[in-house]
Structure 1
Amino acid sequence: MDVKPLIHVVDDDASLRAALLRLLDAAGFDSRGYADTGEFLLHPVPDRPGCLLLDVNLPGPSGLELQDVLQQHGCQLPVVFLSGRSDIPSSVRAMKAGAVDFLQKPAQSEALLAAIGRALARDDAQRTARAEQQGLKALFATLTPREREVFDRIVAGKLNKQIAEDLDTSERTVKTHRSQLMHKLGADSAAELGRLDERLRQVASDQGPGIARVLPAS
């Protein structure tokens, strides 16, 4: 990574929070500490690699409630939970909601850093997927509405003649649209268009409905 990961630590225990920040600094990370959910929410999360070390039991809104708020606002910052007691229902809820790990305090340094490593790996994968999503959306957005319709039918396996009949136009016009869209998408064959379509749909599946509006109809 070109930018040092930023680890956010939300814990109301000042001494533990300070110890965690020292550990993270020694491990080569940038870190920020917050005493509760409200303090964390007052500081915008910068767009840089990182994750969140989050205490479950906080004064005011709990760590689990903060996790819900972040998800509702589309924040994909990976979360590693810390808990002062064994709490199976909370751990199950946290993991179902996408937490990377749920560690009991005091967490061993090795276990904590390993969990942070997994969280950062997830963050990197999510950032890569978002970058691909944005690139594919931008690429596909260069197509005209008619080129999108032709693209949809090409990847469905239809021939130019069939596409022309579907769109009530000439086969020559379809060939022109086909040539133009292949040039825009950097594809040399229908097979490459098919692979591009699969990538588009995979990204849509991984990232949610945000890309659906630029995908051709099934």
Structure 2
Amino acid sequence: MRADSENLDPQATVFVVDDDAAVRDSLRWLLESMHLKVQTFDSAEAFLAVARADARGCMVLDVQMPGMSGPALFEECKRRHITLPTLFLSGHGEVPVVVDAIKGGAVNYLLKPCNNPQLLESVQAALEADETSRGVRQREKLLGQRLDGLTTREREILEQVVAGRSNKEVGRTLGISYKTVEAHRGRLMRKMGAASFAELLQMMLTRA
């Protein structure tokens, strides 16, 4: 695992779900040796009993387990809005099942027995993906809150200026004066936390 793993979120946890105790113990030892937080579960049902939608980290799931399978657990997690990046541990005969799961959003799979360096690299990639996606969701939430704080007129002007229209063109379209447009534009820029029009445009393009 690369040295930059030390920069990952310290609250991120690798959730290992496998009915084989030897596999769970081996993965715990390997991951904890890299100073990662690990929680292990012997079944999908045991994981779901404590799973939280705001969990940080990633999941490492065995494909074939008694009761709910790994792919079925992955789908149930999506239904519950648990969006942890997921890595599957698969036997050779299970590859088609895992390929379907990857098409559904899983990040990777490894064939058993796992190569330790490859497993660690895959886990780190999953943890980094989770950190990135949470950052995006947080920015989207903040942007939504700022947009909700705009008045109806400010929203109208925002739509016009993002479409590339000048203050004079906005004024003619909305039937208000140039100075009124300027005043509203200044207020909406402050509310949106944008220091420039370019920054405001980038915010809106990212949201789109």
2:70 aligned partner: 63
Given the alignment, which residue of 168, 184, 193 partners 2:191? 184
The aligned length equals: 201
Q: Taking structure 2 as the reference length, what is the TM-score of the superposition?
A: 0.86
Q: Distance in 2 between matches of 1:12 and 1:20?
A: 13
1:75 aligned partner: 82
1:54 aligned partner: 61
- SS of the residue corresponding to residue 52 of structure 2 reads coil
Q: Could you tell me which runs of 5 or more consecutive residues in structure 1 were left unpaired when the two chains were aligned.
A: 202-218
User: Identity across aligned pairs (percent)?
Assistant: 37
Matches within 5 A, 1:67-216: 67-187=74-194, 189-201=196-208
Q: Distance in 2 between matches of 1:193 and 1:2?
A: 29
Q: Distance in 2 between matches of 1:43 and 1:129?
A: 25
Taking a change above 3 Å as real, the CA distance of residues 119 and 173 of structure 1, as seen in their structure-2 partners, is same
Contact 1:53 1:81 in 2 (8 A): yes
Structure 1 position 188, deviation (Å): 5.0
Q: Distance in 2 between matches of 1:198 and 1:182?
A: 15
- SS of the residue corresponding to residue 77 of structure 1 reads coil
Contact 2:150 2:191 in 1 (8 A): yes
Q: Distance in 2 between matches of 1:138 and 1:90?
A: 40
Amino acid at match of 2:188: L
- SS of the residue corresponding to residue 142 of structure 2 reads helix
Comparing 146-155 with 182-191, greater Cα deviation is found at 182-191
Amino acid at match of 1:102: Y
2:5 aligned partner: none
Q: Distance in 2 between matches of 1:133 and 1:11?
A: 34
Structure 1 position 53, deviation (Å): 0.7
Structure 1 position 44, deviation (Å): 2.6
Amino acid at match of 2:14: I
